[in-house]
Structure 1
Amino acid sequence: MEITIDDAKALARRACISVGASSANANALADATVAAECNGRSAVGFRHLLDYLAAYSEGRINGNAEPEVAFPAPALIRVDAAGGIAHLGFDLVIDELVTRSRTFGLAALALHNSYTTGELGYYVRRLADAGLVAFAATNSPALMTSGKSREAVFGTNPLAFAAPSENSRPLVIDQASSATAFVTIRQLAEQGEQIPEGWAIDAEGRSTTDAGEAMRGALLAFGGTRGANIALMVETLAAGLTGSNWSLDAPSFSQGAVSPGVGLFVFAIQPNLLAPDFPARLAAQLDRLHSKGIHIPGRAPVLPSIDLPADLLNALEAFSLRSLARD
């Protein structure tokens, strides 16, 4: 079913409120969900919204969370998500983050005690739209291993980067430190499909191409030790620097009644203070790379509407019906 952007936001908001989210929480998550879909990231769009709805229903997300904001230094912002979603905490401070980045040349946000962040590119894209160069890192419950360990020790620990480009959409890079995202493995498992060699191991520590067995095992870092090093760097920023749970200590994002309590670290720079013509220079460089056949992430057109499969619509409606039955 093809629906408009406004209808998609209304659908997401309605679903969130039906499972106990406050209006502010519902609005923040609806905006992020639709943005992921419009930017071609459907795996972390409405399909991932189902994880949030289940988490609201089962207590892993505090639906009435009111994030607490502090400013420990002029260019530092600290947010306690209070067991809620990172999106709302970010919404509350994005204007301050932009203002302080422009004033001091750079600023950083450390957000802790939240559910997983969804599409990480969402946060840096918004800052790039405001003319800033931005970097973000977040961790998650342990899902990935590396080296000789057969135990999941890191989250998929993605990082994202965005930069403004003159007369075009920003450059946006958003990737996991695992060989693929967890939501991709899960979707393939649901469809009974195979995965490439090197993506995951099974519960016995053996390499597997069975997505279902991978769900019972652990994901692998891309590039072996190099990917694991990036995961450790991300976790040092997202968990260590924010004071959040390390991935090894984070409760599941899909089971139980306790928030994963993970973190989000965002760093923003005002580029024009260093290179006044930065957006124009970057645009020219990206055009040159594109002419040589290089893929430029983030430049795909924004989708004007959203196509939701029937099974997904039915699942969203089921949450609303279940909530009405409880009431």
Structure 2
Amino acid sequence: MQYSLDEAKDLAVRACLAVGAAPAAANALAEATISAERHGRHSVGFAHLFDYLEGLLSGRISGTAEPELSYPAPAIVQADAKGGIAQLCLDQAFEELLARTKSYGVTVFSVTDSYTAGELGYYARKMAEQGLIALAATNGPALLAAGRSAEAVYGTNPFAFAAPTQGKAPLVFDQASSATAFVKVRGAAERGDSIPEGWAVDERGQHTTDSREAIKGALLAFGGSRGANIALMVEVLAAGVTGANWSLDAPAFDEGSESPGAGLFMVMLDPKVLDPSFSDRLASQVERLAAKGVHIPGGGSLQSEVDLPDEWVARLERYGNQKQESSQ
């Protein structure tokens, strides 16, 4: 069925509240979920929301955690998620980040001890919509093998970049250091589909196109050692600089009762400090590149409705029913 954005957000909010999320956390998570769907990032939209709901039920996510913000330097904002979600940290720090970036030209945002970040492009896009350039990096539990090791040593360690373009949607790209996102491999395994060569190895370290064997093994970096270097860079920023768990030490995001304790690192830059005409110039350059056949990420049409399988809607509603039954 198709739902309006408001209807779909209401479904998400009610499900989050039903499994113990405080109103602010429920709204932050629902907003990020709808943004992912609206921008065509379905694998980290409602499909991934179920990981959050199960995490809230099991204790992997603290639904009532209130982020603790601190300001160790004028252009640095730190957030301790306290086992909660990074989306709420961004909501709580958003106005301060904007104000400090406008004042100092550049700001760093650091988040520690959070659940995995979901659609990373969401964080960068929100800043670009306010006229800022943003770079974001985040880690998570080890899922990615590197070098000659068959053991997973990094998370999928995505990074995202966004920049404002005058009169157009922001330029945004969001990609994992792995050849694909883990949720795509997991989805293929659930359907019994094969995966392309080069996405993953099995538990013996052998290349595989069997998605179910890949789940037991590890993902591979895009571009071999070059992609693995990007994963390491993201690890240094998102786990090392923020004080979050290294991916090797992060508990699983989809089982157990412990938070992954992941990190998020962002840099925001006000381009007008260096070039007042930046957004106009970028808009013109994007048009020139597009005319030459270059794909411009982030500039596609936005979806005005959300397609949700009946099975998913029923599952979302069951979370609400569980809460009603437990209160009786």
TM-score bucket (shorter structure): over 0.9
Counterpart CA distance in 1 for 2:237 and 2:103 is 23
Counterpart CA distance in 1 for 2:325 and 2:190 is 28
How big is the shift at 1:98? Answer: 1.0
**Alignment correspondent of 2:66:** 66
How big is the shift at 1:34? Answer: 0.5
Alignment of 1:238-277 (within 5 A): 238-277=238-277
Counterpart CA distance in 2 for 1:13 and 1:227 is 36
**Alignment correspondent of 2:193:** 193
Q: Deviation per CA, 1:199-251, whole angstroms, max 9, x where unpaired?
A: 00011111000111101100000001000000000010000000000000000
**Alignment correspondent of 1:280:** 280
**Alignment correspondent of 2:47:** 47
Q: Secondary structure at the match of 1:47?
A: helix
Counterpart CA distance in 2 for 1:321 and 1:48 is 21
Counterpart CA distance in 1 for 2:235 and 2:155 is 8
**Alignment correspondent of 1:321:** 321
**Alignment correspondent of 2:312:** 312
What runs of 5+ residues in structure 1 fail to find an aligned partner?
A: none
Alignment of 1:187-226 (within 5 A): 187-226=187-226
How many residue pairs get aligned? The number is 327
How big is the shift at 1:322? Answer: 2.9
**Alignment correspondent of 1:2:** 2
Q: Secondary structure at the match of 1:299?
A: coil
Q: Deviation per CA, 1:271-318, whole angstroms, max 9, x where unpaired?
A: 011011100111111111111111101001111111111222122223
- The worse-fitting range, judged by mean Cα deviation, of 309-318 and 122-131 is 309-318
**Alignment correspondent of 2:99:** 99
Partner amino acid, structure 2, of 1:299: G
How big is the shift at 1:44? Answer: 0.3
Q: Which runs of 4+ in 1 moved over 6 A?
A: none
How big is the shift at 1:185? Answer: 0.6
Counterpart CA distance in 1 for 2:257 and 2:323 is 17
How big is the shift at 1:94? Answer: 1.0
How big is the shift at 1:325? Answer: 2.9
Q: Secondary structure at the match of 1:32?
A: helix
**Alignment correspondent of 1:148:** 148
Counterpart CA distance in 2 for 1:52 and 1:319 is 12
Counterpart CA distance in 2 for 1:93 and 1:152 is 33
Partner amino acid, structure 2, of 1:7: E
Q: How many percent of aligned residue pairs carry the same amino acid?
A: 55
Partner amino acid, structure 1, of 2:76: L
Q: CA RMSD in A?
A: 0.8
Counterpart CA distance in 2 for 1:226 and 1:325 is 52
How big is the shift at 1:194? Answer: 0.8
Counterpart CA distance in 2 for 1:219 and 1:33 is 24
Pair 1:15 & 2:8 matched: no
Counterpart CA distance in 1 for 2:222 and 2:35 is 27
How big is the shift at 1:321? Answer: 2.6
Q: Secondary structure at the match of 1:153?
A: strand
**Alignment correspondent of 1:24:** 24
Q: Deviation per CA, 1:95-132, whole angstroms, max 9, x where unpaired?
A: 11111111101001010000000000000100000000
Q: Secondary structure at the match of 1:251?
A: coil
Counterpart CA distance in 2 for 1:315 and 1:199 is 30
Q: TM-score w.r.t. structure 2 length?
A: 0.98
Alignment of 1:155-194 (within 5 A): 155-194=155-194
**Alignment correspondent of 2:292:** 292
How big is the shift at 1:324? Answer: 2.9
Alignment of 1:73-152 (within 5 A): 73-152=73-152
